[in-house]
Each structure stands twice: as structure tokens, then as C-alpha cells.
Amino acid sequence: VEKPPYTEIYNILFQNYGSQGWWPINNIYKKRNSLTNEEKFEIIIGAILTQNTAWTNVEKALNELRRNNCLSLKGILETRQETLAMYIKSSGYNNQKAERLKIVAQFLLQHPLEELQNMEIKELRTLLLSVKGIGPETADSIILYAFAKPSFVIDAYTKRIISRIGFCRKDISYDELQTLITNNIEKDTELYNEYHALLVEHAKRYCRIKPECNTCILKDSCEKKL
């Protein structure tokens, strides 16, 4: 049985869009090999803030936290939830997200970054999923982008593109789609990092809610199951 051409799709996306340099830190996109604890912390906070909102809104919220000396474990622990909510207003659902920042800060107090960094993916994922406000997408984003371990991130864009191409049902579950993709590509952090970021870029450029199929760079591999 021929494997679906996930690698071919990746190559087309990469050739056209180039390296995406995720995860942006301090508003800068660039390739990173080793992250400092401050950078890992910023990614974790960003992963919470980006739930249900666009990244531009998250950047504003991160800048406000930074400007008020709150983009640190100490800063979040020592600042009132209501004040945090004010700083992160641009990210939407800000009261709920302020509560989540508090909960995550407590979690990181009990489980320092060094401890999490040294855990196996499965164990780390289970632990992260036990934290209120961290679902599969947030957990995988943290594992992949903060801890640089290969855990493939699925989001609405991934599901949209892969189902339209014709590789899966529209209503496939998070875990099913993750298994489907990871069974068909090499298990590699760099690849997982770029692949997710490239799919997001593709959903923004062509595979929008109203897709631009006529000019799409993937149209030859796509069944256009709309």
C-alpha cells in the first residue's frame, strides 16, 4: 500500500514558504537550537494566550506582560489575577486566561522547567494534560516548541487542509489525526516544528475558509474535498 505523500506535501510547502522559524520569541522568528529557561517560559505563556485567538493579539499581550515585569514565574505569581487580566486584555478571554496563567505558574513552581525538560514525551504530555486549561494542542505546542521534543501539533488548520486534500474525514479526532500524520513522516523535532508552522502558513495563504484552489501550490495533490 502506497503511503499518502505527506513528505511530498511538506517539501512543496517548504520550497515555497521556507523555514518559518517558530516559535517566535520576543516577536522574533529565527531558527533556535537551544532555548534559555526564560525563552521556554515565554513559549509556555504564549501557548496559553494563543488559545482561540490570532498571534498578533498574543504579541501585544506578551509585550504588556514584559513591560510590566510580569513575563516571569515570579512576576505572574506575585501579580494579582485581575491585574494580569488587564495586561493580557488583547488576547481575548482574558479573565479565564489570567486564571490559567496563575495555575500554570503554580504548576511550574512544583515542576521546574529542568524537571519537565528531562521527562519522556508520553509522561510529560500526561502531566501537562492534567493541568486545568491545557488541552492536547497546548500540551503538544509546549512539548514541541518549548522543550524541543517531537510531539506533532494538530489544530483547526491542520484538520482543514488534511481533510480537504482527502486524507481524512472532516470530523477526525485530535489523536487520530496526530497518529495518521506521525505514522507517515519521520519522527523528528525539526520536521514537526516546520510542518505545523508551514500548514498554518498554507491555511492563511491558500487553504482559507474560502480556499484559493485555482492558484494553490498543493492543488495537484489535493482532492479538494470541500
CB of 168 to ligand SF4, least distance (A): 13
CB of 13 to ligand SF4, least distance (A): 10
For 25, the 3-state DSSP assignment is strand
Residues 6+ apart with CB under 8 A from 193: 22, 144, 145, 148
Burial code of 89-115, b = ≥16 C-beta within 10 A, e = fewer?
bbbbebeebbbbbbebbebbeeeebee
Contact 154, 178 (CB under 8 A): yes
CB of 20 to ligand SF4, least distance (A): 17
Does the protein bind ligand SF4 through residue 198 (CB under 6 A)? no
Best CA proximity match to 177, nearest among 204, 148, 155: 155
> How many residues make up the chain in this entry?
226
Residue from 21, 92, 133, 211 touching ligand SF4 (CB under 6 A): that is 211
Does the protein bind ligand SF4 through residue 128 (CB under 6 A)? no
Residues 6+ apart with CB under 8 A from 171: none
Interhelix angle 37-49/94-110, nearest 10 degrees: 150
Binding mask 93-122 for ligand SF4 (x = CB under 6 A): ------------------------------
CB of 213 to ligand SF4, least distance (A): 3
When the beta carbons of 113 and 222 are compared against ligand SF4, the nearer one is: 222
Contact 125, 151 (CB under 8 A): yes
CB of 112 to ligand SF4, least distance (A): 42
As given in the structure block, the three cell numbers for residue 210 are: 474560502
Does the protein bind ligand SF4 through residue 88 (CB under 6 A)? no
* Listed ranges 23-31, 37-45, 61-69, 218-226: which one lies at the site for ligand SF4 (CB under 6 A): 218-226
For 78, the 3-state DSSP assignment is helix
Binding mask 147-186 for ligand SF4 (x = CB under 6 A): --------------x--xx---------------------
Q: Which residues bind ligand SF4 (CB under 6 A)?
A: 161, 164-165, 206-207, 211-213, 216, 218-219, 222, 224
